[in-house]
Amino acid sequence: MAGTKKAIRKSGKKAKPAYHRILLKLSGEAFQGPQGFGIHGETIQAIARELKDVHALGVQVAIMVGGGNIFRGARQKGFEIDRATGDYMGMLATVINALALQDALEKAGVFTRVLSAIEMKEVSEPFIRRRAVRHLEKDRVVIFAAGTGNPYFSTDTAAALRAMEIKADVILKATRVDGVYDADPEQIPDAKFFAAISYREVLSQNLKVMDSTAISLCMDNGMPIVVFNMNRPGNIRRVVLGERVGSKVTPA
């Protein structure tokens, strides 16, 4: 009986997060759900519920959103366009995703602010580092939009940059697979999985974790990256609680 009571008390303890402040990198693909394009309502609502659960743990949450579900900049197929122009169009796509996520979060009862690297006074605040940190300190979820505000830089690089600026503890890179592999596991079933890997190994093996600029920036500043499967419900919470989920990219 005493053992049972002890187990009950133990299970009733509030889970303690492994990270105090996180930056979650969400690609545009995370918003499109099963329809394969645009913004899928049920999918974005599910993401908002998971983020609310993590926020309730006392974790300060910042999010960098991509825009590939709407426009992929220079990689847009069948569309000849200047690289800089395409990148700016991609930045505008990220603002659309940021506003959609903000709406879903606030409907779930989570106070949220969108900070854009391209000034849009009517729909978002301009990115100011101290303002972003202050929002986090006030328990608001911060969504970063428009990447770095510059062409030729991906939202992966923007995520790394913002993580340094707000002094995040970790970058959580959401993907469609379980972590880092030496090949695409969706194409090659026996691809090797890495539970842990160094920045240099990622660069030398040209593994598609984040682009090389983002990885180099993280390596130079010692910012850990956890790559995990976003399509498994509850995975964000598990990562934040320090469970062994996905792959961790750290110094050697």
Are the C-beta atoms of 96 and 116 separated by less than 8 Å? no
* Tokens of residue 178, six digits: 């379980």
> What is the average pLDDT across 181-191?
92
pLDDT at 81: 86
Superfamily (CATH) of domain 22-250: Acetylglutamate kinase-like (3.40.1160.10)
* pTM for this model (two decimals): 0.91
Buried residues in 181-209 as b, exposed as e (16+ CB within 10 A): beeebeeeeeeeebeebebeebeeeebeb
Residue recorded with tokens 């930045």: 91
pLDDT at 71: 87
Residue 13 has pLDDT above 80, yes or no: no
Residue 78 has pLDDT above 70, yes or no: no
Backbone angles phi, psi at 230, to 5 degrees: -75, -20
Separation CA 153–CA 73 (nearest Å): 11
Q: In 28-167, where do the E strands start and end?
A: 60-65, 112-116, 125-126, 141-145
Output the CA angle 105-110-116, nearest 5 degrees. 65
pLDDT at 11: 43
Radius of gyration of the chain (CA): 18
Question: What is the band of 146 on the pLDDT scale with cuts at 50, 70, 90?
Answer: very high
Residue 5 has pLDDT above 80, yes or no: no
pLDDT at 191: 94
pLDDT at 1: 47
Residue 208, helix vs strand vs coil: coil
Question: What is the band of 8 on the pLDDT scale with cuts at 50, 70, 90?
Answer: very low
Q: What is the pLDDT of residues 209-249, one digit of tens each?
A: 999 999 999 999 999 999 999 999 999 999 999 999 999 99
Listed by start position, the domains of the chain span 22-250
